[in-house]
Amino acid sequence: MQLGRKTILDGIDMGAATGQVTCIVGPNGSGKTTLLRALTGEIGHTGTIRLGGRDLSGMAPHELAGMRGVLPQATPLSFPFTVAEVVGLDRPAARDPVPIRHALAEVGLGDYGGRFYQELSGGEQQRVQLARVLLQVRDPSGPDGPRWLFLDEPVSALDIAHQMQVIRIARDHARAGGGVLAVMHDLNLTALFADRVLVLKAGRVLADGPVSQIITAETLSRAYGCDVTVGRHPQTDLPVVLPPPL
C-alpha cells in the first residue's frame, strides 16, 4: 500500500478470528493505523480483504456499518452535539434513549447524556465514542453473522481504571462471539487482554501469533530497536514488559 510515492504497507498476510482479541503493535510509523483503516474499508488497498468471508471491496457502506464498528484515535466535532446525540449518530433510525443510556452506562458515563461533547475531557470523549461503537454493534453475534470492533488505541487517553474497563468490554464482546481487532501501544495491556498479537515493523509483519510466543524479549527488541526485558506476572503468569534501564 502506498501513500504518494511512499510504501506504507507491503506484503501483509494476516487473519483475525471471532471469539478472540487480536492486537496490532509496533513502533511509531510502522503502519498500524494505516492497516486498520484498510481493514475497515476507509482507505483503498491492493490485494484482498475479507470480513465475515465477504470481499470488502464489494460491500456497500451500510453493509459494512452493520458488520463492524470503528473507534478511531480521535473524533473531533465542530458542532455542539450532546453526548446522547453523538452516541446515536450511527443509528439515525433508532433514537430510542434507552439503548443510548445503556451504552453510556457500560462505559461509566450513564449520567452524561445531556452534556455537550465539547465540554468533556479527552478521556471522556474517547469513552463516548466507544459507547457509540458499542451501540452500533451491540449484538456481537447477530442474525447476519458476527460483528466486529475495530479499535485504534482505545485506551491511550484513559487512566488505569478506565483502561481496564475498556479492556473488559472488548474481551466480553469477543467472548460473546464477536471479533475485536485493536491497535495498541501499551505492551503490558496487550499481553493482558490479547489472544493473538501481530507485530509490524516498517510496514511488514515481523511476528504473528499467540501472546506467549510474541511478547518476548527477542521479538520486542527487534521490533522497537531497544533491549527490553520480559518477565512474568506473579498472579497470571502473563508476560510483563520492562523497559531498559536509563
Lowest pLDDT segment from 3-12, 130-139, 171-180:
3-12
Judge whether residue 94 has pLDDT over 60.
no
Judge whether residue 142 has pLDDT over 80.
no
Judge whether residue 167 has pLDDT over 70.
yes
Overall average pLDDT of the 85-94 stretch: 74
Which residue's entry shows cell 457502506?
61
Strands 179-183 and 148-152: parallel
Tell me how far CA of residue 193 lies from CA of 112, 121, 153, 187, 200, in angstroms: 28, 25, 14, 10, 19
Q: What is d(CA 40, CA 110) in angstroms, rounded to the nearest whole number?
A: 29
Enter the DSSP assignment of 132. H
Judge whether residue 2 has pLDDT over 60.
no
What is the structure's pLDDT at 62?
84
Judge whether residue 222 has pLDDT over 70.
yes
pLDDT digits (tens, 9 = 90+) for 183-212: 999 999 999 999 999 999 999 999 999 999
What is the structure's pLDDT at 51?
86
Judge whether residue 123 has pLDDT over 60.
yes
What is the structure's pLDDT at 18?
95
What is the structure's pLDDT at 3?
53
> What is the Cα Rg of the chain in Å?
18
pLDDT digits (tens, 9 = 90+) for 103-112: 999 999 999 9
Inter-helix orientation angle 97-106/122-136, to 10°: 130
Q: What is d(CA 242, CA 229) in angstroms, rounded to the nearest whole number?
A: 5
In the chain, where the domains are located: 2-242
Enter the DSSP assignment of 57. G
Burial class of residue 115, CB neighbours in 10 A (0-12, 13-18, 19+): middle
- Confidence tier at 233 by pLDDT (50, 70, 90): very high
Beta-strand ranges (E) seen in the chain are 2-3, 6-7, 21-25, 50-51, 54-55, 68-71, 141-142, 145-146, 148-152, 179-183, 196-201, 204-210, 229-232, 239-242
In the chain, the percentage of residues whose pLDDT exceeds 90 is 68
Average pLDDT, the chain: 90
Q: Classify 2-242 by CATH class.
A: alpha beta
What is the structure's pLDDT at 75?
83
What is the structure's pLDDT at 4?
55
What is the structure's pLDDT at 1?
53
pLDDT digits (tens, 9 = 90+) for 32-52: 999 999 898 888 777 788 888
Enter the DSSP assignment of 138. -
**57 Cβ contact list (under 8 Å, min separation 6):** 48, 49
Q: What is d(CA 219, CA 151) in angstroms, rounded to the nearest whole number?
A: 23
Number of H helices, E strands in the chain: 9, 14
What is the structure's pLDDT at 206?
96
What is the structure's pLDDT at 138?
86
